[in-house]
A and B are shown apart, each in its own frame.
Chain A
Amino acid sequence: MIGFVRISKLIVILVATLAPACLSAQEMRPRSILVLDQSDLRGPFYYQIFSELRAVVASDAYEHTTLYAENLDLSRFKGPAYEESLRRYLMEKYRDKQIGVIVTVGAAALELVLRWRAELWPGIPIVFTVVDEMDYARLKPPPDVTGGIVKLGLADTIAAARVVVPNLKEIVFVGDAWDRQVIFRNWPDEISTAANGLNVVEMIGLPMTEIRKRVAELREGSAIIYSAVYSDGEGTFYPPATALALIAEKANRPIIVGAETFLAPGGIGGFVLVPNLIGADAARLALRILDGEASASIAPATGGVKPIFNWEQMQRWQVAESSLPAGSEIRFREPGLWEKYRWQSLFAFSIVLLQAGLILILLFEKKRRRDAEVESRHRMSELAHVSRSATAGELSSSIAHELNQPLGAILTNTETAELILSSPVPDLEEVREILADIRRDDLRANEVIRRLRSFLKRTTFETKDIDLNALMREVFDFLSTQASARNVSLYLKASPEALRVNGDSVQLQQVIINLIVNSMDAMAAIPYGRTVIGRAEMNGGKAAIISISDSGPGIPVDKLAEVFDPFFTTKEQGMGIGLSIARTIILAHKGRIWAENDAEGGAVFHVSLPLSAA
């Protein structure tokens, strides 16, 4: 049973594949096609049908096919006399030409060819195209006549109108007289059923001026259904696409059209005939027949119609893409930047995203680093303040001394002056001298206070252009009293050239004070010859070196690296932060600080600071 089915299937397949080959062997047809077009080829619709047909024929890989074409111009010329003249013309013209297949474009052309075939081209198969369903039924072509039937019912067109105008109340037919229409001439018969419930306005066969006037004054809720206008009604003929452009220019309502070529001139679209499809279908059929297939075995097919809409018009009439019939195609879409440059945009976007991410990370990093910097600067400022206060504590005796010196002089002088003034003959000259002394001492006291305040003031890190020589001089002057009280000789060897660095003068002073005080402390135990020597010098034009050397016992070699560590101290009362503060400050100034022992005894502290660019 199963085996039988298989064998019968095989036979069917064999017959199917062998049949055309057998045919082609028996009836070799001349490879030529005669295209009889009922139009005048000026309009884009028929032109596209023909050019697509020609393109498909030309692209046939097997053999060259000769193409003849005639434009019967049947919309402009009518009547038995014209038809008779055409017949004679064609008969004469193609008397000696071998025609393989005849392709007709349009129902009127098919009708004529069917009438003339027996006389002019007996037995030549016919491929028709652009023939309406109703015309096909009316013409009843014989079996060896095949082709493409276009099915463009008014119902479909009205459905399209409803899509465009959801609250459709009225349809306005614009076109030439129905009997002059090629494809749409059957619509009047459909109106009663398809347009049920709608107000129907017919602007049929009107002069163009009239049409243009009336389409500009249409009501809300109406849609124009454009069939085709071939003339202005006053003797000027034009392709219907051109006519549509004139109408669309004035129309105040959307125009539903029936041909793809009516989209560009201003139609919003609808179920339209697509000339390229029609032409290609016809060409393929013709080629199949030329290749030997029997035209009778090819049943006419329906096709060539697609729902296509005009994007610009959709925008104008606010028709959503989603409301269009299934399978709709949209033309003239103004591609958005996204559609136009999808990949470029994607790429650019991802780059931007990546960059944004990176920037974010960097910003975050930067913020964290700045926070840390601010924090550490804050800490350092605090510590420096603590250290300064500690130093100030150490220095307070010398400060009091310095301050009480002028105050003491002032007090005594004042009392002396009072004494002089209370005598019977006061020596005013002496009083004047005393007053001068008082003033001088007062200013001195003021200067002490100012120095003290600038020293104790807790300042944030602010860099300025500083001359290290002047800075050192100030510190050495400031410490001179304390040094003499502690029996320490202070010497400063300034550099002959200016040493300009960028830095915080208060903090750098702090460093030098710390180093000197540290040196003085280190020498507390030695009985005599306590000396601190400060040097400021240039180092190769790039850096300034400050060194503070003392005549103390020096630093144990194993402690040289440790002295800058926080809380490293050899002093009983020391906090061990002086040198660590000094290092922190110097590092903040992008400098270096190090300690070593002098070959001749004593410790030397060096500070290297980058010179500011001149």
Chain B
Amino acid sequence: MAGIVHIIDDDVSFRTAIERRLKKAGYQVITYSSARQLLDRPLDEKEPSCILLDVRIPGLSGPELQKHLGELGSTLPIVFLTGYADIQTTVKTMKAGAEDFLTKPVSSAKLLDAVERALAHHETLLGQRHRMDSVRSQIATLTPRERQVFELVVRGKINKQIAYELGMTERTVKAHRQQVMEKAKVQSLAELVSIAERLGLLSRGPETGDCGEGGGGLP
């Protein structure tokens, strides 16, 4: 699988060796000598990528960078590489969502395996994200009235209740409901609920007029 591998290691020699090997395996490689360098450049997360991160680097350490990236909402899987794997650090980083934890020296097979899995993981993430994005954009095309109907439908309200709540006839509700099913490209109510769930709409209160991410607000 093609992908981008970000290598963060202060040791130029090791960095170069890994870079060389990964390039041979067909990956695109970007190297950084410190965490700061990586943070200074916005990461392109649209392609399958991963981070190879040394635990001990000057300045911001590996685990600290991991925490930082998490806070920034990065989805890039992180494979830790360390010269000395103490249990404490290993547990901490894995809990924080590290993809893998490798010890130097690492064989190419293990390294490539880890990188491959990380990239695959990221690709999956990217796929999900992609689908979410398309759903979100579909939902975004709903008219405000349709959106109100949508939110009430996914919460299990029947047409009569919706009509009463929104002050419209049952007939109009049905028409809007039809529109929503079409725009969301779903066939059943269950599918519609699933989308709402994924968009996180269900966790919020039904009384609000908030349309969620990407959606239009109430007039």
Chain A residues close to B by CB (< 8 Å): 396-398, 400-413, 415-416, 419-420, 430, 434, 437, 440-441, 444, 481, 484-485, 487
Contact = CB atoms under 8 A, between A and B. Distances in A.
B20 A416 contact: yes
Given A397-B84, A402-B83, A485 B21 contact: no
A401 B56 contact: yes
B218 to A, nearest CB: 44
Nearest to A423: B24
Interface string B119-162: 00000000000000000000000000000000000000000000
A412 B105 contact: yes
A485 B105 contact: no
Nearest to B89: A397
B82 A412 contact: no
Contacts of A419: 21, 24, 108
Given A400-B83, A403-B83, A485-B61, A415 B21 contact: yes
A403 B117 CA distance: 28
B200 to A, nearest CB: 35
Contact of B13 (A400, A403, A444, A485): A444
A434 B83 contact: no
Count chain A CB atoms within 10 A of each CB in B18, B20, B61, B111 and give the residue with the most.
Answer: B20
B72 interface: no
Interface of B: 11, 13-14, 16-18, 20-21, 24, 56-58, 61, 81-84, 86, 103-108, 111
A444 B12 CA distance: 13
A405 B17 contact: no
A415 B24 CA distance: 11
Nearest to A481: B56
Given A412-B20, A484-B56, 17 more contacts: A402-B83, A404-B83, A405-B11, A407-B104, A408-B104, A409-B13, A412-B17, A412-B111, A413-B17, A415-B21, A419-B24, A420-B24, A434-B17, A484-B57, A484-B58, A485-B56, A487-B61
A478 to B, nearest CB: 15
19 contacts: A401-B83, A405-B13, A409-B11, A411-B105, A411-B106, A411-B108, A412-B17, A412-B105, A412-B108, A413-B17, A415-B21, A416-B20, A419-B108, A420-B24, A430-B20, A434-B17, A437-B17, A484-B58, A485-B56
B33 to A, nearest CB: 12
Contacts of A487: 61
Given A401-B83, A404-B105, A409 B56 contact: no
B17 A409 contact: yes
A411 B82 CA distance: 14
B90 to A, nearest CB: 12
A481 B83 CA distance: 12
B104 A416 contact: no
Which 8 A-B residue pairings sit nearest by Cβ, starting from the closest? A408-B104, A401-B83, A404-B83, A400-B84, A408-B105, A411-B105, A415-B108, A412-B17
Contacts of B14: 405-406, 408-409, 412
Contacts of B106: 408, 411-412
Nearest to A440: B13
Contacts of A411: 105-108
B18 A412 contact: yes
A405 B16 contact: no
Contact of A406 (B13, B16, B103): B13
Contacts of B108: 411-412, 415-416, 419
B107 A415 contact: yes
A614 to B, nearest CB: 40
A485 B84 CA distance: 12
Contacts of B57: 484
Contacts of A437: 13, 16-17
A578 B116 CA distance: 47
B17 A401 contact: no
Contacts of B58: 484
A419 B18 CA distance: 13
A404 B104 contact: yes
A74 B57 CA distance: 135
Contacts of A444: 13
Nearest to A434: B20
A2 B57 CA distance: 134
Count chain B CB atoms within 10 A of each CB in A396, A406, A410 and give the residue with the most.
Answer: A406
Nearest to B13: A409
Count chain A CB atoms within 10 A of each CB in B16, B18, B61, B105 and give the residue with the most.
Answer: B105
Contacts of A413: 17, 20-21
A416 B17 CA distance: 8
A386 B14 CA distance: 34
Nearest to A480: B58
Contact of B84 (A404, A406, A440): A404
Count chain B CB atoms within 10 A of each CB in A402, A405, A410, A484 and give the residue with the most.
Answer: A405
A487 B105 CA distance: 24
A481 B108 CA distance: 26
Contacts of B16: 409, 437
B83 A405 contact: yes
A396 B56 contact: no
A475 to B, nearest CB: 19
Nearest to A430: B20
Contacts of A430: 20
A396 B84 contact: yes
B21 A412 contact: yes
Contacts of B84: 396-398, 400-401, 404
A409 to B, nearest CB: 4
A407 B105 contact: yes
Contacts of B105: 404, 407-412
A430 B17 CA distance: 12
Count chain B CB atoms within 10 A of each CB in A400, A402, A412, A484 and give the residue with the most.
Answer: A412
Nearest to B112: A415
Contacts of B81: 408
A265 to B, nearest CB: 108
Contacts of B103: 404
A437 B14 CA distance: 9
A408 B24 contact: no
Contacts of A415: 21, 107-108
Nearest to B9: A405
Nearest to B104: A408
A463 to B, nearest CB: 36
B7 to A, nearest CB: 11
B159 to A, nearest CB: 59
A437 B104 CA distance: 17
